[in-house]
Every structure is written in C-alpha cells, then in structure tokens.
Amino acid sequence: MEGSLLPVKLKRKLTYKGHYDYQYVDTMHVQEALWYLKHCNFFYKDVEFNESWINEFSLEDNGLIKKNDGCKEDQDMSIDDNDDDLLHDRQTHCMFQDTCLMPVDIGQEALDVYVDNVLNVAPGENNNPIKLLSDSTNEAKCFPVLFPSGFNTYEKRQYRLTLSCYFNNRLLHADGRFARNVEYIFFAQYMSELEQVVSKVSIALRKGTSCTSQNMTEVLKDENSLNKLLEFDDGYRFLKPIRGTPAFWQSAQRDLLACVRMLGKPTWFASFSSADMRWKNLLYSILKQEGRTQTLEQLQWADKCELLRRNPVTAARMFDFRWHVFVKEVLMSPANPIGKIEDYYYRVEFQQRGSPHCHCLFWISGAPVLDKNTDEEVIVFIDKYVTCEIPSEEDLLFEVVTSVQQHSK
C-alpha cells in the first residue's frame, strides 16, 4: 500500500545468510522509478514488475535449505554453513564486530530480530561474469540514476577519447551528479587502472625479450623463463604508472633514496592537514553548486560535515590547489619561513574521515647536520624557525594555535 516500507536484502547468492546491502525501500517509489526506466531506458524495456512482491526463487531455495538441514551426515553442507556464518559477519557491517558483546550497529540488529518478511534479492546469481572493458553497456546498467536514458556513456566516438579523459570530464563537469557519487568515483578509478593493466600487460612480457605471439605460450610454460621474469621484476614492471601498486611505490622509494644520497638527510619533516571546515570559500562554492542560499552562520557543524561528505571531488581539488599554492607562494617565497628549500618530497594520504593530509620532507640550504655540527648550532637553527609559544589572547593567531596546533588529552 502507499507509504509502506519493505526491508530488502541484496545478496550475492540467495542461500547466503549474509548480505551485500540492506535497506528499507518505499514500494511506491520503486514502482515509479521502474515505470520511468521502462519508458525511457531501453535496458529496462523487458523488465516485468511483480505486484505481489514475492520472490519465488527465494522460496524455492529456502525449501532446499530446510531439507538439507535434516541431513546431519552431509559434511560439505556443514562446511558451507561455517563459511556462510563468516560471510555474514563480514557482509552485514562490512567489518568485524567491535567487541564480542556489542554489535557495530545495535539499532539494525534490533530491527533484524523483529522483522521476518525480508525480501531477498540476488540479481547476479547463476549469471556468467562479463569483462568490464568488453561490455560498453556496464556503466549505464550499474548507475541507472546517473544514466536514466541509458545513453551518453563511454563508447566509440567520432573523435578518439581515452577512458581516463572521459572519467576526468565526468568528475570535473559542472553537473555535479558524478562527482557526488562515491560509488561512481571508485568505479572510475577501478576502470581506469584496469584499462592500464590490460593495455600494458602484453608489452611487459615482450619488452627486452625476443618473444612473439607464437612462442609467448612456450615462454610462460618454461620455469626458467618465469623465474627470470620474477628475478628482475619484469613480471610486474608494467604496474609502475598505477598508483598503489608495489612497482609504483618501489619507484617512489628509489626517488626518495636518490634525494637522500645527493642531498643528505632531510632537514624538516612536516605534516599539513586539510582545514576544510575553516575554508569558507570551499563551503560557499559547495553551497553554490547545490543551489542553496544559506550562509555559513546558518549551518551547524553536522551540516558542514555533510556538505563535505557529499562533495569529495570538490574538497580534494581545493586541498590540492591550496597545497601547491602554499608551497610555491609561502614556503618557497623570498621570506623563507623554514629556510631556503633546495628540494622537497611529499605524499598525500586520506584519513578515515575522508580529509586529505600531506607528509613532507624538506632539504634546507645551509642547515646544520646532526653529528657534524655542534649541539649549539643545531639549537640556534631550530629556534630560528620553530616556536612552541602560545600567542596572547589579543593576538589573531591565539584561537588557531590553541584549537589546531595544540594536542589535548
């Protein structure tokens, strides 16, 4: 009936006790959305709606489970049950429970106890896997909200467009639907990296060898050839341009060690965190993107956090812009706030709350070296650029230093 909510569990397989996603859906909204997709999206034209909201496949599988429960001598079934229990713990909350007594989401656990008529859906069960790069329709099928008509996805065009450029245009477009969808951002990253791996994997085996397409199979079957590829890291050298891979971090480590050999030990180690909650222009730009006329004074702390959570691309771009401007216009300015910088190295990481921060190494010209210069010279150099003094309450920096630059118990 109108306004009713139905609990739906999205599973990888109906026989699993755990689930991939669990939400309460409005039945009227589902019917309206499906009606729109049937008339506007050609991928849904043959979809029929079950008015009774009964999943016949789920009932049949439940009956099979009850019959198999009576057979205690079936050892394979007991093993599957243990695997299902472990999968249930992982899939229910996407993590293990915090303690043995308290679940991660106690409210959801209470609802699960009193709710029996849960609709189980496993749309991908008994289907064959499809290669992501070979199926040009997967983008529209995975994100019907972003592509309601099923068109304008990455496909063959009159002018050549790479996959990376396509996703960059999607995320940086004035239409912020794609940039606000976290699932689409990770989908774009995965597709871009997968395309790089597939395009370079064949070149990696041929580079530096006399392999051809005819004897490539023979090379892979030869144990000595495989050991040679692994010994000289030729087997995964093609992963070097892809961030996060062992080959990428091996290259970054070599660059850093080369700086240490040429310039010596770094002078400063510094961390710079994103002050996104204090950047008024960032929050104003997000409000303008969403078409809201509110001011920052009218927003609570939770509202600001929600703004940043819904717009991860805008927040990350603002941090990247401010970081490079800060290095160029402040740290490397003629004022030399930390000394004259000869070279620097940094790495950007993302905290659990989603905000980025930088870890940096700076090499300063004329800086004293430990174990070479005296302790007095080192102390004088440190006192020249570093201070632990709290400004007076009349100073404009008092609030910033006490709230940001001071650790509390």
Domain residues of the chain, as ranges?
Answer: 5-121, 138-249
1 Cβ neighbours under 8 A, 6+ residues apart: 27
In which region does residue 388 sit, left (phi positive, over 0), alpha (psi from -120 to 50) or beta (all else)?
A: alpha
Contact present, 313 and 185 (Cβ < 8 Å) = yes
pLDDT score recorded for residue 397: 84
Q: What pLDDT is stored for residue 111 in this prediction?
A: 64
CA angle (242 as vertex; 237, 245 as ends), nearest 5: 70
Return d(Cα 33, Cα 27) in angstroms, integer: 10
Helices 182-206 and 312-326: crossing angle, nearest 10°? 70
Lookup: tokens for 382: 């440190």
pLDDT reported for residue 401: 84
Structure tokens given for 10:
């999205």
Strand positions, DSSP E, 284-396: 341-350, 356-364
User: How many CB atoms are located within 10 Å of the residue 171 CB?
Assistant: 21
pLDDT tens across 40-72, in order?
888 888 888 776 666 565 554 455 444 444 444
Could you give the CA distance from residue 28 to residue 112 in angstroms, rounded to a whole number?
23
Residue 101: the pLDDT is: 52
Chain mean position to CA 141 = 21
SS3 357: strand
Which residues lie below 8 Å from residue 239, measured CB to CB, with a gap of 6+? 197, 245, 246, 247, 248
What's the CA gap between 202 and 129, in Å, rounded?
A: 23
How many residues are there in the chain?
409
- Residues in the chain predicted with pLDDT less than 70, given as ranges, are 1-3, 51-116, 201-222, 225-226, 228-236, 352-353, 408-409
- Residue 409's identity, in one-letter code, is K
User: Residue 94: its pLDDT value, please?
Assistant: 45
Distance CA 246, CA 242 (A): 9
Q: How many Å apart are CA 394 and CA 213, to the nearest integer?
A: 75
Q: Distance (Å, rounded) from C-alpha 74 to C-alpha 79?
A: 9
Q: What is the pTM of this model?
A: 0.70
**What is residue 306's predicted lDDT score, i.e. its pLDDT?**
87
Structure-token pair, residue 305: 């956090």
